Amino acid sequence: MKVTILGSGTSQGVPIITCKCDVCHSNDYRDKRLRTSILIETEDTTICVDAGPDFRYQMLRANVTKLDAILITHEHKDHIGGLDDARPLIFVQGKPMTVYASAEAQEEIKREYSYAFANEDERYPGAPAFELITIDGSPIKINDLTIEPIELKHFILKSYGFRINNFAYITDLSELSHEAFQKLIGVEHLIIEALRKREHYSHINLEQAIEIAHKLNVKKAWFTHVSHEMGKAADVNPTLPENMMLAYDGLEIEI
């Protein structure tokens, strides 16, 4: 299984419009961060987690020509804002795009893309079509992949992380519950958010992410959903434990 980091940035991305900090003006490709998303590929299956405002460019950059499903972590704009750009894939594949999302996220998707859910006689030609499937904590089976959703607390919202065998992807959480931690035991490869070094009310910071990775005793951890406040990758990576690093856009991980 191959995991590609499509985006490793926050809701504003990096660089941020108007920002004059050293990170936003860095020439290091590792400091150029689109909105957070990953692509998961096996011989039979291609899925992505989240479809934010950068979805179109992310699909083009990763040369994606087939997509079996999109998994949505939660309903914030930086995670659903690019769903309309799935239209070419929908047209080529000749069927609605399968989208797994919580009931709460589905409400926002239907509101944001109401034209995609209009009655047949009211549908605008060329509108996207989605098959929404509710994430309720039960395992998700997509071809040769079995995915375990892990419920997370994202301040006042519910978000979902996902585990596939010994790999897990966890982003947009303000704390990790005991129940969620138990579902991560045995994970060897972990992608987890680390917004910045100082604390935040709805996201975990670098120290908290490192602590979770240590407690799980993972072989390798990559930190995503990284803001410009984290600092440059070239400066931060040498300070991290040997088996941990900041994720960056385009990183490919073989699991």
Residue 217 has pLDDT above 90, yes or no: yes
pLDDT at 63: 98
SS3 string, the chain, reads CEEEEEECECCCCECCCCCCCCCCCCCCHHHCECECEEEEECCCCEEEECCCCCHHHHHHHCCCCCCCEEECCCCCHHHHCCHHHHHHHHHHHCCCEEEEECHHHHHHHHHHCHHHHCCHHHCCCCCCCEEEEECCCCCEEECCEEEEEEEEEECCEEEEEEEECCEEEECCCCECCHHHHHHHCCCCEEEEECCCCCCCCCCCCHHHHHHHHHHHCCCEEEEECECHHHCCHHHHHHHCCCCEEECCCCCEEEC
Q: Give me the CATH number covering residue 47.
A: 3.60.15.10
Look up the domain containing 226 and give its range: 2-254
Mean pLDDT, the chain, whole residue set:
97
pLDDT at 126: 84
The model's confidence at residue 148, banded by pLDDT at 50, 70 and 90, is: very high
Q: What percent of the chain has pLDDT over 70?
A: 100
The total of structural domains in the chain comes to 1
Residue 123 has pLDDT above 90, yes or no: no
Whole-model pTM: value is 0.97
Residue 107 has pLDDT above 80, yes or no: yes
For 51-86, how does the pLDDT look when each residue is reduced to its tens digit (9 = 90+)? 999 999 999 999 999 999 999 999 999 999 999 999
Q: Per the structure block, which two tokens stand in for 231?
A: 């600092």
The model's confidence at residue 39, banded by pLDDT at 50, 70 and 90, is: very high
